[in-house]
Amino acid sequence: MSYFMGKKKLSGSLLILSFSIVLIHLYSCTKASDPGPELSIQDVSQVRNTTESTMRFHITLNKPASNSASVDYALEDGTAISQRDFMPATGTVSITANQTEATIDVRLIGDPLNVRQPNLKFTINLINPKNCTIKTASAQGIILTEDGTYLSTDNAGYTTPVTYPGYSLVWSDEFSESSLDPGVWNQEVGNGSGGWGNNELEFYTSSPRNIFISNGNLIIEARKETVDRFNYTSGRMTTQEKKYFKFGRIDIRAKLPVGKGLWPALWMLGTNITSAGWPACGETDIMELIGTNPSTVYGTLHWSAGGSHASKGANYALTSGDYSKQFHVFSIVWVLNDITFYVDDQKYLEVSATDVGTANYPFNLNQFFIFNVAVGGNWPGSPDNDTEFPERMFVDYIRVFQ
């Protein structure tokens, strides 16, 4: 063999050896940078039952492990408390070789009352992985309680009798049943035309999330949630075409929500609104409150004067506290050509046909009831970051005496 031939063979061998070393190095680097199977766990949300139930968490590997992988877990209290809302637990969960998933079951404690409260949360933490690494080390268990059917409130406050001299009780709703009487109440849905003419921001629903009865009270609940492009939901209910009255004493016992952008109201409209229109039909605002002024309520009559809107009203301010602290009774005494307004039997406004003047006086005709909690609008403005949701109006009773 010639010298040059031997040199050429040697060079080729060195080249192959160098290339092999590079491949080995690249393989080693790739293997070193490969973390192996990565383990994750996801949040779980589940409605709380009246009896015990199981919340199941899924843990997953992003790829199968050649050997069995395992991880330890433990539960951590949050707004959900162990022994009260869930059973405490620790342990180890394994994912067998060539598999990618396992589960962890947590026992949730039932609530026989089904109390409505903010959703409850706890955390499940993963530690000590074997034959895998942890990508997501914790997850939340969210116990959904915000739609519970039971909600109590302090019943303290003013109250009125069930009889008056010279009057008979002709109709009442004490809200003592489990649901609204559909033969009496309508639940309106939507945002009306231009936010019910007021540029209100809520979407009214017929859902028990927004209108329900509990513990002897009607509750209208305003929430910060998005429905049909609107960022708030609430409830608006009427007795239109079902219950309407002309004259008498009307008592409504209620506790009111307060906060910027809130507008609870207890009011009436003339039954001829579909033919006469507003304000010619007449509007009687038994009570309105603007949330930025929580210690003051307003009573107002609205009518049409020469085709224009006219009104007369006044307000009643508490000497201490606000209308969210206790129940108060909002009343009118309604007779021919005259309506007088009261809060806790204290007179603060009287409007008569004389105040309407030569305009048509519409308040000697039938009117129906409307209860609602508006969010936003021309008068109250929009909520801000200090407005806490959900906000609720509690109505203990409505009574009509004639």
Active-site residues, by number, are 283, 288
- SS3 call for 168: coil
Distance CA 263, CA 293 (A): 10
Distance CA 398, CA 16 (A): 96
What single string gives the DSSP state of each residue in 64-75?
--SS-EEEEEEE
**Can you name the residues that pair with 340 across neighbouring β-strands?**
333, 350
**CA dist list (Å): 358 to 210, 303, 304, 364, 387:** 42, 12, 11, 15, 44
Distance CA 231, CA 229 (A): 7
| β pairing state of 44-47 and 138-144 | parallel
Query: What sign does the dihedral 379-385-391-393 (CA atoms) show?
Result: negative
Distance CA 47, CA 45 (A): 7
195: number of Cβ within 10 Å: 18
Query: What sign does the dihedral 254-258-262-263 (CA atoms) show?
Result: positive
Distance CA 173, CA 158 (A): 18
